[in-house]
Amino acid sequence: MKAPEIKQMNPELDEAAPMPAPDGEALRLIAEVHTRVLDTIAGFEKIVEKAEPDFTQVAETFLYLHRKHERDLAAYLAKCGYAPDNDGSFFGTVNKALVEMRSWFEDVSDNIMDRIIHGEKHVIDAYENARSVGQTLDANAMLTRHIEDIDALMHKHTSP
């Protein structure tokens, strides 16, 4: 069953009325999600580079999803007057270095899915933390959709 639209649930809602502005803590936590996603992108770029041919498409799918989410998060932050980070944190470099070093000793293929899932859960933790502070309706919808996208992709690539 499809969830009802907000307008259906609240017919008196004036669509032209501005949504309440997010507070500084809410924006800071979305910015933290954005940084984690940038760090994750850095890791997946290296995974795609080092992946065995039969794993490349899986890695590219995760990379594509995270790039899409990064664009959504950056646009939301910019719309709220918060300058999004463009480079991520030190952990993006760590992610790339770990993938590079592991590629020296093992194939980058489906045998790394457990580590990918662990990393994805770290990203989801940031999303959940951001959702826990009372985000605006549009921010909460975006964060929820991103979590659902990541969950679906993890499930797709870990199901027997």
The answer to whether position 72 is within a domain reads yes
> Per the confidence metrics, is the pTM higher than 0.95?
no
- β-bridge mates for residue 108, sequence order: 51
Sole residue written with tokens 């017919």 = 11
Tell me which residue range forms the domain holding 74. Answer: 22-158
d(CA 153, CA 84): 25
The answer to whether position 6 is within a domain reads no
The answer to whether position 78 is within a domain reads yes
d(CA 112, CA 19): 42
For residues 114 and 102, is the Cβ–Cβ distance under 8 A?
no
> Which two three-digit tokens encode residue 9?
């649930």
DSSP code of 55?
T
The answer to whether position 1 is within a domain reads no
- What lies within 8 Å, CB to CB, of 111 at 6+ separation is none
Over the stretch 131-151, which tens digit does the pLDDT of each residue have? 999 889 999 999 999 999 999
The answer to whether position 13 is within a domain reads no
Listed residue (129, 135, 150, 120) closest to 76, CA to CA = 135
DSSP code of 30?
H
The answer to whether position 2 is within a domain reads no
pLDDT range class, residue 20, cuts 50, 70, 90:
low
Over the stretch 34-90, which tens digit does the pLDDT of each residue have? 999 999 999 999 999 988 999 999 999 999 999 999 999 999 999 999 888 888 756
Number of domain units in the chain? 1
Helix (H) or strand (E) run with residue 131 in it? helix 113-131
The answer to whether position 82 is within a domain reads yes
| Domain at 149, CATH number | 1.20.1260.10
Helix (H) or strand (E) run with residue 38 in it? helix 24-50
